[in-house]
């Protein structure tokens, strides 16, 4: 499903807007005697979804209130995911508030997933958000007789094929609501089940209302299912809610059947771990270093280690198992070494065999591998120089870029004195050199380098 998710995010999503009708004029007017606007504007702005989920292709209606009167409203929809490569803005809508600072609109759910919808006043800057789900926020529960655990549900492959782990975190709801780190305690008010290790950096937050009959919850780690157990007529029943294992932070409310109170709740989750890939180039360069992987969900990616973005990295949150990371096409650099560090108690191991590394990743661990590259200095040429304004004053923060005849571009940023230096250029080549800055305009230069240091200076053109 994740691949489908990525593909769909590449094109714009359909959205239908319904702009709220204007309120009666007398409600929108300012009190001319007191000179004060309506007290509504003193209340916190809000954005409320009439339903917190819908199937893909269906509309969700939203209502905003307590914004400024008669202002444009910018609405951004963002996907929320454990994988950063599929997060980001997926839709941009618009609306207008009425004389009471209210507005409404509809958004068409593009695909399965979890979304944050944010409305921001174009004049006031007031902002409010709401979380909604594609394909329904709370699926229909499956009623299981007796008290069930994640381990028992995992055995029911025909009913719950997406639950593939015995791990669970159970809360005894005779304790107060709140935020519970995923650890055992001494009461035991929280219990790790199915051999799950403690994860003190992760937690589950719960809230119950309506006499304990409804449960709202959020989690800082992916959840496969929620088992809500209720007591009725001398028997305990389990209501199992199955969620997309790729989503992060699913939430309720979940409701007890037979109008009975919630007895316990158990969150089922899979073993998770992290792989972090770091690029370190000597010297820093705008050269894109390519990588290929197996077992991490992203087959290829690039990292650039320049003096604008030093030692960049990419983080993979994944299940335990064998993973590989290999550097591809490092020229004009050479891969000198790969250094890996393991943190956590899972016992992950690494085997470096250039140009890559094989990782036996264990649950709960974080493995950080730094790929070190050195420039092939035999062919190196350098350009450097200074960038000033028309009065001869240095301009810091100017990005100077050199592009060769092959289309390869390397860049550097000027320091506080206006100086820059670009290395690892190929000797004997012609370069098209440009300088860019948001407040200044510069001319471009065509220069030839022959293995020595060539001075290329820029002076800002008068506007």
Homologous superfamily, domain 378-459: Immunoglobulins (2.60.40.10)
How far apart are alpha carbons 113 and 424 in whole angstroms?
Answer: 44
pLDDT at residue 170, rounded to an integer: 92
- Label residue 182 exposed, middle or buried (CB < 10 Å: 0-12, 13-18, 19+): buried
Are 124 and 67 spatial neighbours (Cβ–Cβ below 8 Å)?
yes
How far apart are alpha carbons 193 and 269 in whole angstroms?
Answer: 11
| pLDDT greater than 70 at residue 59 | yes
> Higher pLDDT residue, 4 or 217?
217
Of 71-80, 137-146, 171-180, 429-438, which gets the smallest average pLDDT?
137-146
Where is mean pLDDT largest: 35-44, 78-87, 387-396, 406-415?
387-396
Local confidence band at 13 (pLDDT 50, 70, 90 cut-offs): very low
| pLDDT greater than 80 at residue 221 | no
Local confidence band at 163 (pLDDT 50, 70, 90 cut-offs): confident
- What integer is the mean pLDDT of 92-116? 82
| pLDDT greater than 90 at residue 215 | no
Q: Model confidence over 399-424: pLDDT tens digits?
A: 999 988 778 888 999 999 999 998 87
| pLDDT greater than 50 at residue 307 | yes
Q: Model confidence over 19-30: pLDDT tens digits?
A: 333 333 333 333
How far apart are alpha carbons 24 and 108 in whole angstroms?
Answer: 29
Q: Please give the structure tokens belonging to residue 19.
A: 């702009």
Local confidence band at 210 (pLDDT 50, 70, 90 cut-offs): low
| Fold classified for 273-375 | Immunoglobulin-like (2.60.40)
| pLDDT greater than 70 at residue 439 | yes
| pLDDT greater than 90 at residue 370 | yes
- What integer is the mean pLDDT of 146-150? 85
Local confidence band at 95 (pLDDT 50, 70, 90 cut-offs): confident
- On the question of a common fold for 273-375 and 378-459, the answer reads yes
Architecture of domain 2-134: Sandwich (2.60)
> Higher pLDDT residue, 435 or 95?
435
Are 358 and 350 spatial neighbours (Cβ–Cβ below 8 Å)?
yes
pLDDT at residue 142, rounded to an integer: 82
pLDDT at residue 330, rounded to an integer: 76
Where is mean pLDDT largest: 62-71, 159-168, 177-186?
62-71
Q: Model confidence over 263-300: pLDDT tens digits?
A: 888 999 887 788 999 999 888 877 889 999 998 878 89
pLDDT at residue 237, rounded to an integer: 79
Of 140-154, 174-188, 208-222, which gets the smallest average pLDDT?
208-222
pTM of the model: 0.43
Q: Model confidence over 247-268: pLDDT tens digits?
A: 444 555 565 555 567 888 899 9
Nearest C-alpha neighbor of 283 from the set 457, 396, 421: 421
Local confidence band at 57 (pLDDT 50, 70, 90 cut-offs): low
**What are the two backbone dihedrals, phi and then psi, of residue 112, each rounded to the nearest 5 degrees?**
-65, 145
pLDDT at residue 53, rounded to an integer: 65
pLDDT at residue 340, rounded to an integer: 96
Nearest C-alpha neighbor of 371 from the set 292, 427, 425, 268: 292
User: Domains of the chain: which residue ranges?
Assistant: 2-134, 142-268, 273-375, 378-459
Q: Model confidence over 313-357: pLDDT tens digits?
A: 888 877 778 999 999 977 778 898 999 999 887 789 999 999 999
| pLDDT greater than 80 at residue 462 | no
> Higher pLDDT residue, 105 or 332?
105
pLDDT at residue 19, rounded to an integer: 31
pLDDT at residue 274, rounded to an integer: 87
DSSP 207: E
| pLDDT greater than 80 at residue 455 | yes
| pLDDT greater than 90 at residue 435 | yes
CA angle centred on 370, ends 347 and 377, rounded to 5° = 150
Alpha helix stretches (DSSP H) within 90-165: 150-154
pLDDT at residue 31, rounded to an integer: 36
The residues near 462 (Cβ < 8 Å, ≥ 6 apart) are 390
């Amino acid at each position: 499903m994740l691949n489908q998710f990525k593909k769909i995010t590449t094109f714009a999503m359909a959205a239908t807007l319904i702009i709220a009708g204007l309120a009666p004029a007398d409600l929108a007017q300012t009190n001319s005697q007191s000179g004060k606007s309506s007290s509504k504007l003193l209340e916190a702005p809000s954005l409320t979804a009439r339903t917190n989920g819908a199937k893909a292709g269906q509309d969700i209606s939203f209502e905003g209130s307590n914004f400024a009167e008669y202002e444009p409203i910018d609405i951004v929809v963002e996907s929320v995911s454990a994988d950063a490569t599929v997060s980001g803005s997926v839709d941009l809508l618009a609306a207008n508030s009425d004389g009471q600072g209210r507005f409404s609109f509809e958004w068409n759910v593009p695909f399965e997933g979890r979304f944050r919808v944010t409305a921001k006043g174009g004049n006031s800057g007031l902002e409010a958000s709401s979380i909604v789900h594609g394909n329904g926020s709370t699926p229909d529960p499956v009623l299981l007789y007796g008290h069930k655990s994640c381990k028992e549900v995992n055995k029911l492959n025909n009913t719950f094929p997406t639950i593939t782990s015995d791990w669970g975190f159970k809360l005894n709801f005779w304790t107060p609501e709140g935020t519970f780190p995923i650890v055992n305690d001494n009461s035991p008010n929280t219990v790790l089940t199915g051999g799950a290790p403690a994860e003190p950096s992760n937690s589950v937050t719960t809230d119950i209302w309506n006499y304990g009959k409804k449960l709202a919850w959020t989690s800082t780690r992916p959840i496969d299912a929620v088992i809500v157990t209720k007591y009725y007529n001398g028997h305990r029943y389990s209501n199992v809610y199955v969620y997309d294992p790729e989503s992060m932070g699913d939430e309720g409310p979940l409701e007890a059947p037979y109008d009975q109170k919630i007895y316990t709740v158990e969150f089922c989750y899979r073993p998770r771990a992290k792989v972090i890939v770091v690029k370190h180039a000597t010297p820093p360069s705008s050269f894109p270093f390519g990588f290929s992987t197996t077992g991490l969900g992203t087959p290829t990616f690039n990292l650039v280690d320049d003096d604008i973005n030093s030692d960049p990295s990419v983080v993979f949150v994944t299940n335990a198992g064998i993973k590989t990371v290999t550097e591809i096409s490092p020229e004009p650099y050479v891969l000198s070494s790969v250094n890996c560090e393991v943190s956590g108690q899972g016992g992950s191991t690494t085997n470096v065999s250039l140009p890559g590394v094989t990782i036996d990743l264990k649950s709960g661990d974080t493995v950080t591998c730094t790929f070190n590259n050195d420039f092939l200095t035999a062919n190196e040429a350098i350009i450097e120089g200074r960038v000033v304004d028309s009065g001869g004053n240095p301009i810091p923060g100017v990005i100077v870029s050199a592009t060769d005849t092959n289309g390869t571009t390397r860049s550097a940023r000027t320091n506080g004195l206006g100086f820059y230096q670009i290395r690892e250029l190929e000797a004997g080549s012609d370069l098209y050199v440009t300088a860019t800055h948001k407040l200044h305009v510069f001319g471009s230069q065509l220069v030839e380098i022959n293995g020595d240091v060539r001075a290329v200076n820029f002076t800002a053109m008068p506007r």
